[in-house]
């Protein structure tokens, strides 16, 4: 069951209990049709505020920005599996009275895709470049994870996060500089301890297109034209697997169009939400 507490800032914080008993927190703002946001692996829920996407959405939607397990006010568990992340997403979606549009970025897009199989309360699904290795692409993260764990064990969380964003996330220099100067940077550094387990789980993930043949939820897939092949190929593979989907390409942009092309990103999302199907 969801519980909400007004913190006195014009926003509400809420929690749900996931399948394994873990508390999953979210921030609720705005009014209108419900929109659930799921951030990526190196991020925190305030990621969606960096270039103004969250407040822009809140002008038209009731926005639920999830704080994924192991971060912020959300709880955690002794063991970790990717499936738990999907169940967390579904728990938030199921706690909302009206059918939901679910928007996930990067790792959050993968958890949203998997979470869509756990709920009947979806109206629409929006995925921005899930990190799925298909075709000739490989997600070789073990060397990076080993280096990150060494840094984390030495108390060098910031260096571990930078390593992830550069070597695994493959952010462009401009994207990296933007996030390092953002107000949420320290919160991202504090959450870096969760990265090794998440990366290993994603690297083991095997995409089976047949599992999604019955997922007829209208789906918008977003992709940066300048993103690494892994992300672009994953978007195409998911689009081919989902029977009711279309792809929008952000030419001259990479993995984070919500930050590098925020006006267009918000417009694409809101236009899709407003569409009748």
Has residue 132 been placed in a domain? yes
Has residue 142 been placed in a domain? no
Element (H, E) at 35: strand 34-38
Per-residue pLDDT of the chain (277 residues; tens, 9 = 90+): 344 433 334 589 999 999 999 999 999 999 999 999 999 999 999 999 999 999 999 999 999 999 999 999 999 999 999 999 999 999 999 999 999 999 999 999 999 999 999 999 999 999 999 999 999 999 989 999 999 999 999 999 999 999 999 988 877 788 788 889 999 999 999 999 999 999 999 999 999 999 999 999 999 999 999 999 999 999 999 999 999 999 999 999 999 999 999 999 999 999 999 998 7
Has residue 180 been placed in a domain? no
Has residue 24 been placed in a domain? yes
> 138: left (phi > 0), else alpha (psi -120 to 50), else beta?
beta
pLDDT of the residue at 10: 56
**What interhelical angle do 82-94 and 107-115 show, nearest 10?**
60
Determine the Cα–Cα distance for residues 179 and 259; give it in Å rounded to an integer. Answer: 9
Has residue 113 been placed in a domain? yes
Which residues sit opposite 221 in a β-bridge?
A: 127, 247
Range of the domain at 73: 3-137+207-274
pTM: 0.94
* Tally of domains within the chain: 1
Has residue 96 been placed in a domain? yes
- What is the domain-level CATH number for residue 85? 3.40.50.1820
Has residue 176 been placed in a domain? no
pLDDT of the residue at 170: 79
Supply the DSSP string of 138-152, one letter for each residue: ----HHHHHHHHHHH
Has residue 169 been placed in a domain? no
């Amino acid at each position: 069951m969801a519980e909400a507490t007004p913190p006195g800032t014009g926003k509400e914080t809420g929690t749900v209990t996931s399948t394994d008993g873990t508390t999953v927190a979210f921030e609720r703002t705005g009014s209108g049709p419900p929109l659930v946001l799921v951030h990526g692996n190196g991020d925190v829920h305030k990621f969606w505020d960096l270039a103004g996407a969250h407040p822009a959405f809140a002008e038209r939607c009731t926005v639920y920005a999830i704080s994924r397990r192991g971060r912020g006010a959300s709880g955690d568990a002794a063991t970790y599996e990717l499936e738990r992340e999907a169940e967390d997403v579904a728990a938030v979606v199921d706690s909302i009275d009206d059918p939901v549009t679910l928007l996930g970025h990067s790792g959050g897009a993968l958890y949203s895709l998997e979470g869509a199989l756990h709920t009947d309360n979806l109206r629409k699904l929006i995925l921005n470049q899930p990190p799925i290795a298909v075709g000739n692409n490989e997600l070789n993260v073990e060397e990076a994870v080993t280096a990150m764990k060494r840094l984390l064990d030495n108390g060098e969380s910031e260096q571990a996060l930078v390593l992830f964003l550069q070597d695994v996330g493959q952010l462009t220099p401009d994207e990296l500089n933007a996030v390092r100067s953002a107000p949420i940077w320290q919160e991202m550094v504090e959450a870096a301890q969760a990265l090794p387990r998440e990366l290993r789980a994603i690297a083991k993930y095997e995409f089976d297109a047949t599992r999604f043949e019955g997922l007829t939820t209208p789906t918008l897939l977003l992709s940066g034209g300048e993103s690494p092949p892994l992300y672009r190929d994953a978007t195409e593979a998911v689009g081919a697997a989902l029977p009711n989907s279309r792809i929008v390409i952000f030419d001259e942009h990479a993995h984070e169009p919500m930050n590098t092309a925020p006006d267009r990103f918000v417009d694409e999302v809101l236009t899709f939400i407003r569409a009748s199907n």
